[in-house]
Amino acid sequence: MSRRKGFSLVELLIVLAVIAALIATITPVALNAIRKAQATKVAQNIKTLASAIENAAYVNGTDNGKIKQADGVSFFESQDHIALLARDVDKGLYGIWYTHTGNGVFSVSVFTKESVDFTTSKGVLGDLTETTPGGYLGASGILKLGNQTGTGADFSFGYNFSFTVY
């Protein structure tokens, strides 16, 4: 009895079943890794913006409660100025709101509209909050960079902090 060359239908079905089982077990792991990477990226962007605005105030100084830009004349108060602090951060998805509370003290909120897993992001940056930016929404005297519009429901989470410029 001679045997034909090639694979039988049963052998092909077995191989396809094994491949399907591997894909079914690997897909959730890959999706979870992507979700965690995105949440980590958002937390790192918030941390970068927080450090950048604080460094800008220390290095460039302030005038009348406004943080100067590197040219020493203009102030950070435009939606586009967030690109001066972090060039790879989308100004439409991130924002910085800050106010001068007197004696060189600044209260700052860095926030995002990106919808990612809050718990994972909080693991990277422990002080994240699920509140409106600094509770300032609608307050007067707020200087805004990046995203300037929206209600509290539009913001995913943020990072609130204060610092003093001497």
Higher pLDDT, 108 or 2: 108
Question: Stretch 7-17: mean pLDDT, rounded?
Answer: 94
Contacts (Cβ under 8 Å, ≥6 apart) of 45 = 86, 89, 94, 112
Q: pLDDT at position 77, please?
A: 73
Contact 67, 60 (CB under 8 A): yes
Q: pLDDT at position 45, please?
A: 92
Residues forming a β-bridge with 146: 95
- pLDDT confidence band for 163 (50 / 70 / 90): very high
Question: Stretch 58-74: mean pLDDT, rounded?
Answer: 82
Residues forming a β-bridge with 159: 110, 128
How far is 165 from 106, CA to CA, in rounded Å? 8
Which of 55, 150, 65, 61 minimizes the C-alpha distance to 99?
Answer: 65
Domain ranges of the chain: 9-164
Measured CA distances, 25 to 12, 145, 160 (Å): 20, 44, 40
Instruction: Say whether pLDDT at 132 is over 70.
Output: no
pLDDT digits (tens, 9 = 90+) for 21-59: 999 999 999 999 999 999 999 999 999 999 999 999 898
What is the 8-class DSSP label of residue 134? G
**pTM of this structure:** 0.78
Instruction: Say whether pLDDT at 134 is over 60.
Output: no
Contacts (Cβ under 8 Å, ≥6 apart) of 94 = 45, 46, 49, 82, 110, 111, 112, 113, 114, 146, 147
Q: pLDDT at position 49, please?
A: 92
Contact 149, 93 (CB under 8 A): no
Q: pLDDT at position 125, please?
A: 86
- pLDDT confidence band for 136 (50 / 70 / 90): low
Question: Stretch 101-123: mean pLDDT, rounded?
Answer: 86
Question: Whats the size of the chain, residue-wise?
Answer: 166
1-15, 30-44, 60-74, 136-150, range with the lowest pLDDT: 136-150
